[in-house]
Chains A and B, each alone.
Chain A
Amino acid sequence: MHRKHAELRRFITNNFLYGRDCSFRDDESFLEMGIIDSTGLLELINFLEKRYAIQVQDADLVPENLDSIDQLCQFIERKLERPGQTPACSALQGQAI
Chain B
Amino acid sequence: MQVEEFLEHSADAYPDKVALVCGARRLTYAEIETAANQLAHSLVGFGLERWDRVVIYANNSVETVIAIFAVLKARGVFVLVNPTTKRDKLAYILNNCRAAMLITTGSLARNAAASAAAAPCLRNVIVSSPVAQLEIVPIAGKEVVSLGTALEGQPNGRVGKRNIDIDLAALIYTSGSTGQAKGVMLTHLNMVSAATSITTYLENTPDDIIINVLPLSFDYGLYQLLMAFKIGGTLVLEQSFTYRRTILNTLVREHVTGFPIVPTIASILLQMDLVSYSFPDLRYITNTAAALPIEHIRKLREAFPGVKIFSMYGLTECKRVSYLPPEQLDIRPGSVGQGMPNEEVYLVDEQGERVGPHLVGELVVRGANVMKGYWELPEETAKALRPGPFPEEKLLYTGDLFRADEEGYLYFVGRKDDIIKTRGEKVSPREVENVLYSHPKVAEAAVIGVFDEILGNAICAFVSPKPGEVLSELDLRGFCADRLEDFMVPQIVQFRPTLPKSANGKIAKRELTIEIEAAEEVAA
Q: How far is B240's CA from A39's CA once the two chains are assembled, in angstroms? A: 12
Q: Indicate if A36 sits at the interface (CB-CB under 8 A).
A: yes
The residue from A20, A24, A38, A96 contacting B242, defined by CB atoms under 8 A apart: A38
Q: A28-B107, A34-B84 are in contact. Are A18 and B243 (CB under 8 A)?
A: no
Q: Indicate if B239 sits at the interface (CB-CB under 8 A).
A: yes
Q: Indicate if B245 sits at the interface (CB-CB under 8 A).
A: yes
Q: Quick check: B273 and A34 within 8 Å, CB to CB?
A: no
Q: How far is the CB of A22 from chain B (nearest CB, A)?
A: 8
Query: Of all chain A residues, which has the CB nearest B215?
Result: A34
Q: How far is the CB of A13 from chain B (nearest CB, A)?
A: 10
Q: Indicate if A77 sits at the interface (CB-CB under 8 A).
A: no
Q: How far is the CB of A19 from chain B (nearest CB, A)?
A: 5
Q: Quick check: A20 and B482 within 8 Å, CB to CB?
A: yes
Which chain B residues border A53 with CB–CB below 8 Å?
none
Q: Quick check: B246 and A34 within 8 Å, CB to CB?
A: no
Q: A18-B481, A38-B244 are in contact. Are A33 and B271 (CB under 8 A)?
A: no
Which chain A residues border B245 with CB–CB below 8 Å?
58-59, 61-62
Within 8 A of A (CB), among B96-140: 105, 107, 110
Q: Quick check: A62 and B246 within 8 Å, CB to CB?
A: yes
Interface 1/0s, chain B 230-244, versus A by CB < 8 A? Answer: 000000000111111
Query: Of all chain B residues, which has the CB nearest A17?
Result: B481
Which chain B residues border A18 with CB–CB below 8 Å?
474, 477-478, 481-482
User: How many B residues have CB within 8 A of the partner chain?
Assistant: 26
The residue from B59, B271, B478 contacting A19, defined by CB atoms under 8 A apart: B478
Q: Quick check: A97 and B268 within 8 Å, CB to CB?
A: yes
Query: Of all chain A residues, which has the CB nearest B487?
Result: A37
Interface 1/0s, chain B 68-93, versus A by CB < 8 A? Answer: 00000000000000011000000000
Q: A17-B481, A34-B486 are in contact. Are A97 and B107 (CB under 8 A)?
A: no
User: How many A residues have CB within 8 A of the partner chain?
Assistant: 27
Q: How far is B244's CA from A86's CA once the two chains are assembled, in angstroms? A: 23
Q: Indicate if A48 sits at the interface (CB-CB under 8 A).
A: no
The residue from B239, B267, B271, B454 contacting A31, defined by CB atoms under 8 A apart: B239
Which chain B residues border A97 with CB–CB below 8 Å?
267-268, 271, 454
Q: Which of B61, B239, B267 has most A Cβ within 10 Å?
A: B239
Q: How far is B481's CA from A8's CA once the two chains are assembled, in angstroms? A: 20
Interface 1/0s, chain B 15-34, versus A by CB < 8 A? Answer: 00000000000000000000
Which chain B residues border A36 with CB–CB below 8 Å?
242
Query: Of all chain B residues, which has the CB nearest A67?
Result: B243
Q: How far is B480's CA from A19's CA once the two chains are assembled, in angstroms? A: 12
Q: How far is B246's CA from A28's CA once the two chains are assembled, in angstroms? A: 19
Interface 1/0s, chain B 213-253, versus A by CB < 8 A? Answer: 00000000000000000000000000111111110000000
Interface 1/0s, chain B 244-274, versus A by CB < 8 A? Answer: 1110000000000000000000011001010
Which chain A residues border B244 with CB–CB below 8 Å?
38, 61
Within 8 A of B (CB), among A34-72: 34, 36-41, 58-59, 61-63
Q: Indicate if A85 sits at the interface (CB-CB under 8 A).
A: no
Q: Quick check: A32 and B271 within 8 Å, CB to CB?
A: no
Q: How far is B245's CA from A41's CA once the two chains are assembled, in angstroms? A: 12
Q: Quick check: B241 and A38 within 8 Å, CB to CB?
A: yes
Q: How far is the CB of B200 from chain A (nearest CB, A)?
A: 33
The residue from A20, A23, A63 contacting B478, defined by CB atoms under 8 A apart: A20
Which chain A residues border B239 with CB–CB below 8 Å?
31-32, 34
Q: How far is B240's CA from A18's CA once the two chains are assembled, in angstroms? A: 21
Which chain B residues border A59 with CB–CB below 8 Å?
245
Q: Quick check: B478 and A31 within 8 Å, CB to CB?
A: no
The residue from B110, B243, B454 contacting A39, defined by CB atoms under 8 A apart: B454
Q: How far is B84's CA from A34's CA once the two chains are assembled, in angstroms? A: 7
The residue from A19, A23, A63, A94 contacting B246, defined by CB atoms under 8 A apart: A63
Q: Quick check: A20 and B481 within 8 Å, CB to CB?
A: yes
The residue from A20, A24, A94 contacting B107, defined by CB atoms under 8 A apart: A24
Q: How far is the CB of A64 from chain B (nearest CB, A)?
A: 9
Q: How far is the CB of B115 from chain A (nearest CB, A)?
A: 15
Which chain B residues border A58 with CB–CB below 8 Å?
245
Q: Quick check: B107 and A33 within 8 Å, CB to CB?
A: yes
Q: Which of B241, B267, B481 has most A Cβ within 10 Å?
A: B481
Q: How far is B245's CA from A62's CA once the two chains are assembled, in angstroms? A: 7
Q: How far is the CB of B282 from chain A (nearest CB, A)?
A: 21
Q: How far is B239's CA from A63's CA once the two chains are assembled, in angstroms? A: 11
Q: How far is the CB of A74 from chain B (nearest CB, A)?
A: 17
Query: Of all chain B residues, which has the CB nearest A37?
Result: B242
Q: Which of B105, B107, B243, B268 has most A Cβ within 10 Å?
A: B243
Q: How far is B107's CA from A60's CA once the two chains are assembled, in angstroms? A: 26
Interface 1/0s, chain B 169-189, versus A by CB < 8 A? Answer: 000000000000000000000
Q: How far is B482's CA from A24's CA once the two chains are assembled, in angstroms? A: 15
Which chain A residues border B241 with CB–CB below 8 Å?
38
28 interchain pairs, CB-CB under 8 A: A17-B481, A19-B474, A20-B478, A20-B481, A20-B482, A28-B107, A29-B107, A31-B240, A32-B61, A33-B83, A33-B107, A34-B84, A34-B239, A36-B242, A37-B486, A38-B241, A38-B244, A39-B454, A41-B242, A58-B245, A61-B245, A61-B246, A62-B243, A62-B245, A62-B246, A94-B271, A94-B273, A95-B271
User: Top 10 A-B pairs ranked by shortest CB distance?
Assistant: A18-B478, A31-B239, A18-B481, A34-B84, A34-B83, A62-B246, A18-B477, A32-B59, A38-B242, A63-B243
A interface, CB within 8 angstroms of B: 17-20, 23-24, 28-29, 31-34, 36-41, 58-59, 61-63, 94-97
Having A34-B59, A41-B242, A97-B268, one finds 12 other A-B pairs with CB under 8 Å, namely A17-B481, A18-B482, A19-B474, A20-B478, A28-B107, A31-B59, A32-B239, A33-B107, A37-B486, A38-B240, A38-B244, A40-B242
